[in-house]
């Protein structure tokens, strides 16, 4: 059974790889529908720089609050 699964995987893999690599990028170079102006990018970068958290120690660990739900 494992051999059959392996054969099926090896048979399908090249077809999947060919279908993914055959997609040509759009003429304008974009790969999604998002269009952000240079001004908005600079604004976001300034915001990030002004609000980023800097660690004082390489061994410092962040705490994560986890909500537990009973289902």
How does pLDDT run across 28-49, given as a tens digit for each residue? 666 676 788 999 999 999 999 9
What pLDDT does residue 64 have? 82
**Whether residue 50 has pLDDT greater than 90:** yes
Q: How far apart are CA 55 and CA 47, in angstroms?
A: 18
Terminal Cα distance for the chain, rounded: 37
Dump pLDDT digits (tens) for 6-36. 777 778 777 777 666 556 666 666 667 678 8
Q: Average pLDDT of the chain?
A: 78
Band (59; pLDDT cuts 50, 70, 90): low
> Are 48 and 40 in contact, with CB atoms under 8 Å apart?
no
């Amino acid at each position: 059974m494992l051999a059959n699964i392996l054969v099926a995987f090896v048979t399908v893999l090249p077809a999947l790889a060919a279908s993914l690599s055959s997609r040509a990028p759009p003429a304008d170079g974009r790969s999604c529908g998002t269009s952000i102006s240079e001004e908005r990018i600079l604004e976001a970068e300034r915001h990030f720089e002004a609000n980023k958290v800097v660690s004082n120690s390489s061994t410092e660990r962040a705490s994560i609050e986890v909500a537990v739900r009973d289902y």
